[in-house]
Amino acid sequence: MRNIFEIDKVGSILDVGATILHILGIKSNLGLGRDLFEKKSLIEEIRDLNRKLFSWRDEILKLWKIFLKFRTFSMWDLNRKYLAINSGF
């Protein structure tokens, strides 16, 4: 059986992760992304989002530098709607 999902909304690449998590049954705001099944994308809510993202550049880079230090693995079970992400230095 194949499920096809269609969303007739404006979105950005930032919204992909949160929207896919919704399909898996997980409600989440993933970073700056929004679940397009339930919310508007930031690209619609924040005028000139690119300029705003650039103004947040230093904070975003600091956050990513922390994440780059982690070793990660993940496990998921779609039948049980289970997702585990583990990380450590």
Question: Can you give the pLDDT at residue 89?
Answer: 42
Q: Which residue has the higher pLDDT, 79 or 44?
A: 44
Beta carbons of 37 and 24 less than 8 angstroms apart: no
Percentage with pLDDT > 70 across the chain? 72
Beta carbons of 30 and 67 less than 8 angstroms apart: no
Show the beta-strand stretches assigned E in 1-89: 71-77, 82-88
What DSSP character marks residue 13?
G
Beta carbons of 34 and 41 less than 8 angstroms apart: yes
Distance of CA 47 to the CA centre of its chain: 20
